[in-house]
Amino acid sequence: MREGLKLLDTTQEICQGLGIPYVVIKSLDALPDLGHDIDLLVGKNLVRVRDELLKRLRCSPVTLTFCDRQAGKFSTFIQGYDFDFELYARITQMGEEYYPEETILQNRNYMPAINGGTYLCSNEDRLLITCIHTMYRHQKIRLSDLNIAFEAFRQDLDLQRVLQTVESAGIQKGFAVFMSVLRKTAQNSTGKNILPREVDAYIENTLYSDPVIARMTRRLKDSFPLKIPLTLSICLFLYKAWADASKTRFNSFLRSLAAPVLLVMDKSVPYGIQKRMSVRIW
Residue 155 neighbours by CB under 8 Å, 6+ apart: 123
| pLDDT of the residue at 199 | 97
Q: What is the chain's length? A: 282
Out of 56-65, 136-145, 190-199, 244-253, least confident range? 56-65
pLDDT band for position 18 (cuts 50, 70, 90): very high
| pLDDT of the residue at 43 | 97
Out of 23-27, 115-119, 123-127, 277-281, least confident range? 277-281
Q: What pLDDT digit, counting tens, does each position of 93-130 carry?
A: 999 999 999 999 999 999 998 878 999 999 999 999 99
pLDDT band for position 166 (cuts 50, 70, 90): very high
Average pLDDT estimate for 189-202:
93
Domain boundaries, the chain: 1-121, 122-276
| pLDDT of the residue at 6 | 87
Q: What percentage of the chain reaches a pLDDT higher than 70?
A: 100
Q: What pLDDT digit, counting tens, does each position of 213-269 carry?
A: 999 999 999 899 999 999 999 999 999 999 999 999 999 999 999 999 999 999 999
Q: How far apart are the first and last CA of the chain?
A: 28
| pLDDT of the residue at 81 | 84
pLDDT at 278 over 80: no
Contact 182, 195 (CB under 8 A): yes
pLDDT band for position 83 (cuts 50, 70, 90): confident
DSSP code string of 107-135: T-EEETTSTTSEEE--HHHHHHHHHHHII
Long-range CB contact pairs, 30-35, < 8 A, 24+: 30/144, 30/147, 30/148, 31/1, 32/1, 33/144, 34/1, 34/4, 34/5, 34/83
Distance of CA 80 to CAs 4, 6, 12, 139, 264, Å?
A: 11, 11, 17, 32, 37
Class in CATH terms, 1-121: alpha beta
Average pLDDT estimate for 146-156:
93
| pLDDT of the residue at 218 | 95
pLDDT at 7 over 90: no
CA distance 202 to 200: 5
